[in-house]
Amino acid sequence: MRDIATAPVISAQNLNLTFQTGDGPVHALKDVNLDIAKGEFVSFIGPSGCGKTTFLRVIADLEQPTSGTISVNGLSSEAARKARAYGYVFQAAGLYPWRTIAGNIKLPLEIMGYSRADQDSRVKKVLELVELSGFARKFPWQLSGGMQQRASIARALAFDADILLMDEPFGALDEIVRDRLNEQLLELWARTEKTIAFVTHSIPEAVYLSTKIVVMSPRPGRISDVIDSPLPRERPLDIRDTPEFIEIAHRVREGLRAGHLDD
């Protein structure tokens, strides 16, 4: 038995997932072994179709592995889902246009049967966390794309799960907005001590955000490199100009290239 304090929050052992399609089997994940410790910020990077989203969906019990095991907070993925162990942030903010920002954040809480008072205090708290306090009564279309994405992060934080699963949440935003959201996400991570699994296509984003970078390669989707970042947890944006940062980015790029050569 592993000690609870040091046991990984997410653990994948020999995970395989093959989709049966009309065109034959698709090996979305092959022999994936990965431990994520409490409080880590782990980015998954790799070309389209290498299984990044599939891996997050396995963690979230939205896909079932063909073989191997996944545990989340020491539980099966099904038990972890039922225990609301994580919040999930998608690429598109996915806010309902006819609900206010507060109404969108409340929706899952309403469905789960939280009291009105609890809903209100949770909405207030998470809007503060994502710096949208003044926008509770606005509708999504009254907010910029970056603000909408922050609202969707607030919604994922509302039931106070320890784990945040984020699938390319900033992919559709321009660079400046993305930089600002990256900084805010790191601040939020430092304040809340969440464990974050984050999918991205951007090398600088992965290196800037992560304590661990998981490089994946396609056909079949597998892990080709795992890089434990030596960068300090406190990271101003200009850390991206340092030799340490550039060196890690270089290693990620090499890993991505090696994956392509296997094609």
Q: Pairing relation of β-strands 86-89 and 163-167? A: parallel
In the complex, the smallest distance separating the C-beta of residue 39 from ligand ATP, rounded to whole angstroms, is: 25
In the complex, the smallest distance separating the C-beta of residue 216 from ligand ATP, rounded to whole angstroms, is: 7
Q: For ligand ATP, give the closer residue by CB, 140 or 204.
A: 204
Beta bridge partners, 76, equal 71
Q: For ligand ATP, give the closer residue by CB, 53 or 229.
A: 53
Yes or no: say if 260 and 217 are a contact pair by the CB < 8 Å rule: yes
Q: For ligand ATP, give the closer residue by CB, 53 or 71.
A: 53
Distance CA(144)–CA(173), nearest Å, equals 10
Distance CA(104)–CA(140), nearest Å, equals 9
Q: Token pair for residue 33?
A: 């072994």
In the complex, the smallest distance separating the C-beta of residue 119 from ligand ATP, rounded to whole angstroms, is: 33
Give the count of alpha carbons within 13 A of 150, CB side only. 26
Q: For ligand ATP, give the closer residue by CB, 19 or 96.
A: 19
Distance CA(223)–CA(88), nearest Å, equals 22
Q: For ligand ATP, give the closer residue by CB, 17 or 158.
A: 17
In the complex, the smallest distance separating the C-beta of residue 218 from ligand ATP, rounded to whole angstroms, is: 7
In the complex, the smallest distance separating the C-beta of residue 43 from ligand ATP, rounded to whole angstroms, is: 13
Spatial CA neighbour of 72 closest among 46, 116, 34: 34
Q: Can you give the binding site for ligand ATP, defined by CB under 6 A?
A: 19, 21, 26, 28, 46, 48-54, 221
Yes or no: say if 28 and 221 are a contact pair by the CB < 8 Å rule: yes
Q: For ligand ATP, give the closer residue by CB, 36 or 158.
A: 36
Q: How many CB atoms lie within 10 A of CB 60?
A: 21
In the complex, the smallest distance separating the C-beta of residue 221 from ligand ATP, rounded to whole angstroms, is: 6
